[in-house]
Amino acid sequence: MIKLKVLAAGAVVAANMFATSLYDTQISSILGDMVSTNRDVRLSVTNRLNSLIATVTNREQLATCKLLKAKLRTECADIMGDEQIYDYHAFHDATNLCWDVLNTFSGKEKAWQFYGATLLLPLPLSMDRQHQAAYSIATNAIVSLDVQNDVAIDTNVWAVLFSPESSKPGQIRMLLRTLAAVSLSFADKTADISSYTNGLPAHALKVVKDVRSEIEN
């Protein structure tokens, strides 16, 4: 009986080691294919991410895979071509994947995936006009980041999800404040957003200004 328990424990350990090595083996290739200009190459990544999501047990790695899939699902209309402008199922999948990640991590943790989900979620939410929800998650993340002060980012993944420049120190806070200003503007165009826009760089202010101009017109 003792021998059987030892063998069972060994099998569990081996399975966990395999899951981790599988992620490490595939992630670089997945990131490379996600930025490919070849539509078929990018579409093929979804199936590979599904396989990892079904296999990986490490919570950080699993969350990373979900965010990468959410990014691809959000881009589904672009990938598929002009004839498919809005794919309800794609945005629905992206929304659920991001919420899964937010619910997995507490803002009290120094987990970059929490902030990645916060920044990815507003686009699919906005397609359903859930601007108040987008504003709430942005402000919650700002509060969390103020407590944490800084977060260690997987720059390779972050660059694919957003951009290489956005991984620089202070950029997450700037993105969150911009998101808060934009989503609050959509929720209430008369709202005072100065607490979020004060001190933002010119390119971020332009984004906010363009959004508010569009809303007012």
The average confidence (pLDDT) of the chain is 85
Q: What's the gap between Cα 113 and its chain centre?
A: 7
pLDDT on residue 10 = 45
Rounded to 10 degrees, what is the CA torsion of 117, 180, 204, 76? 40
DSSP string, 83-116: T----HHHHHHHHHHHHHHHHHS-TTS--HHHHH
Nearest to 158 by CA among 172, 173, 143, 170: 172
| pTM for the structure as a whole | 0.84
3-state helix, strand, coil in the chain (%, to 5): 75, 0, 25
Per-residue pLDDT of the chain (217 residues; tens, 9 = 90+): 554 444 444 444 444 544 456 899 999 999 999 998 887 888 889 999 999 999 999 999 999 999 999 999 888 655 555 555 456 688 889 999 999 999 999 888 889 999 999 999 998 898 888 999 999 999 999 999 988 877 889 999 999 999 888 888 789 999 999 999 999 999 998 999 999 999 999 999 999 999 898 887 7
The tens digit of pLDDT for each residue in 147-194 reads: 887 788 999 999 999 988 888 878 999 999 999 999 999 999 899 999
Q: How far apart are CA 217 and CA 209, in angstroms?
A: 12
Cβ 67 vs Cβ 97: under 8 Å? yes
What is the CATH architecture assignment of 2-216?
A: Alpha Horseshoe (1.25)
